[in-house]
Amino acid sequence: MTPNALGAVASPQAARLDRAAIQALYNRPLLELVFEAATVHRAHHDPQYVQCSQLLSIKTGGCQENCGYCSQSAHHKTPVKREPLMSTEEVLAAAKRAKDGGADRFCMGAAWREVKDGPDFDRVLDMIEGVNSMGLESCVTLGMVNEDQASRLADAGLDYYNHNLDTGRSHYDKIVTTRTFDDRLNTLGNVRKAGMSVCAGGILGLGEDRDQRAELITELANLEPQPESVPINALVPVEGTPLSEQQVVDWTEMVRTVAVARIAIPGARVRLSAGRQEMSEEAQAMCFLAGANSIFVGDELLTTPNPSQSSDAAMLAKLGLKGVGMPKQAPGK
């Protein structure tokens, strides 16, 4: 298979793995699992390339949902300050800075339960058109969307819609009760029907066990077609949220989850997402070996910190990886 400039190949029709097969992968000796995932990775992607997305919170806080991990839920008292929807000009200025800093995809996040038709949604459509016209890929994460809203996003030229399943179905109602797991699947179906690429993943460290992680990956792997982009987040604990005191998930579970996602969803970009600030470079290197080929760059995720662009550029250079568009760094110092 010939990779394109970004190192991606057309998504193959992967043989679907069932829950038992995915559980069995999870329980393999770590280095055996990583070896297999690295082999799958090399068969489907150019392993030198890491895609770099940059996030911006375009509407912050005051969300009606009660997601137990989230700094932006109105149900929790957190340090996050509420901010209304930004202006298109401010957002496009941030997109330009992201592009100049080396990002190739710009992801705009809004703390909404669901999209409501009206001037705010119209403004987001303008933002998408502006981002695309800069030569960046566009992504938004706006909560639930209906079929008509998904079509309008597609017509505006949106490349990716992010909507995470977050955790296994059996653990879902321990994390959020203001919507259901099936609500999430329904939005993903609307996004797909409108012809956009799907970005869907989850979070580790929400008190789930390994079988529930396997349950999450099984759901993602059995979406038809499979998601093009799969973010694997580690919980960033936020003061004031019900999950602020969760035990930190061991780094090897991140590596395992990346590896299982890579094997089960071979054509996707697997993104090592939130939580890199707390991960050593060694642990991140294992994740890249296991098939992670995308990261968020920039000092901030939505409301929490992320490693600096210069430290990421230096890490990628040390590992001999190329961040698409990232500034060049001398390796090895």
> Is 63 among the catalytic positions?
yes
H or E, element range at 93: helix 88-101
59 secondary structure, DSSP code: E
Residues 285, 276 contacting (CB under 8 angstroms): no
Is 73 a residue that touches ligand SF4 (CB under 6 A)?
yes
List binders of ligand SAM among 66-95 (CB under 6 A): 69-70, 72
Question: Between residues 72 and 273, which has the closer beta carbon with respect to ligand SF4?
Answer: 72
- Min dist. Cβ of residue 2 to ligand SF4 (A): 38
Using the rule CB under 6 A, give the single segment among 68-76, 90-98, 263-271, 276-284 that binds ligand SF4. 68-76
Which listed option, ligand SAM, ligand DTB, ligand SF4, none, makes contact with residue 163 (CB within 5 to 8 Å by class)?
Answer: ligand SAM
Q: Which two tokens stand for residue 52?
A: 């770099």
Is 60 a residue that touches ligand SF4 (CB under 6 A)?
no
Is 236 a residue that touches ligand SAM (CB under 6 A)?
yes
What CA–CA distance (Å, rounded) separates 41 from 305? Answer: 29
Is 274 a residue that touches ligand SAM (CB under 6 A)?
yes
> Is 52 among the catalytic positions?
no
What CA–CA distance (Å, rounded) separates 199 from 218? Answer: 15
List binders of ligand SF4 among 97-126 (CB under 6 A): 111, 113
What CA–CA distance (Å, rounded) separates 266 from 257? Answer: 13
Which listed option, ligand DTB, ligand SAM, ligand SF4, none, makes contact with residue 268 (CB within 5 to 8 Å by class)?
Answer: none
Question: Residue 172 carries which side chain, given as an amino acid letter?
Answer: Y
User: Of 141, 226, 257, 293, which one interacts with ligand SAM (CB under 6 A)?
Assistant: 141
Contact positions vs ligand DTB (CB under 6 A): 55, 71, 107, 109, 141, 162, 164, 201, 231, 233, 236, 273-274, 301-304
- Min dist. Cβ of residue 322 to ligand SF4 (A): 32
Task: Tell me the angle at which helices 181-193 and 147-155 cross, rounded to the nearest 10 degrees.
Answer: 40
Active-site hit among 107, 113, 152, 269: 107
What CA–CA distance (Å, rounded) separates 113 from 197? Answer: 21
Active-site hit among 52, 67, 105, 213: 67
User: Of 51, 53, 88, 164, which one interacts with ligand SAM (CB under 6 A)?
Assistant: 164
What CA–CA distance (Å, rounded) separates 323 from 4? Answer: 15
Active-site hit among 52, 105, 139, 213: 139
Query: Looking at the chain, how many residues does it have?
Result: 333
Strand duo 202-204 + 294-297: pairing: unpaired
- Min dist. Cβ of residue 60 to ligand DTB (A): 9
Beta strands in the chain (DSSP E): 49-59, 105-110, 137-141, 160-162, 197-199, 202-204, 229-234, 269-272, 294-297, 322-323
Is 65 a residue that touches ligand SF4 (CB under 6 A)?
yes
Q: Which two tokens stand for residue 90?
A: 């401010």
Cα angle: 101, vertex 107, 110; to 5 degrees: 130
Is 203 a residue that touches ligand SAM (CB under 6 A)?
yes
Active-site hit among 52, 152, 199, 256: 199
Query: What SS3 state is found at 287?
Result: helix
> Is 287 among the catalytic positions?
no
Q: Which two tokens stand for residue 238?
A: 């936020």
Instruction: Name the residues annotated as catalytic.
Output: 63, 67, 70, 107, 139, 199, 271
Binding region for ligand SAM (CB under 6 A): 63, 69-70, 72, 109, 111-112, 141, 143, 163-164, 166, 203, 233, 235-236, 238, 274, 302
Binding region for ligand SF4 (CB under 6 A): 63, 65, 67, 70, 72-73, 111, 113, 143
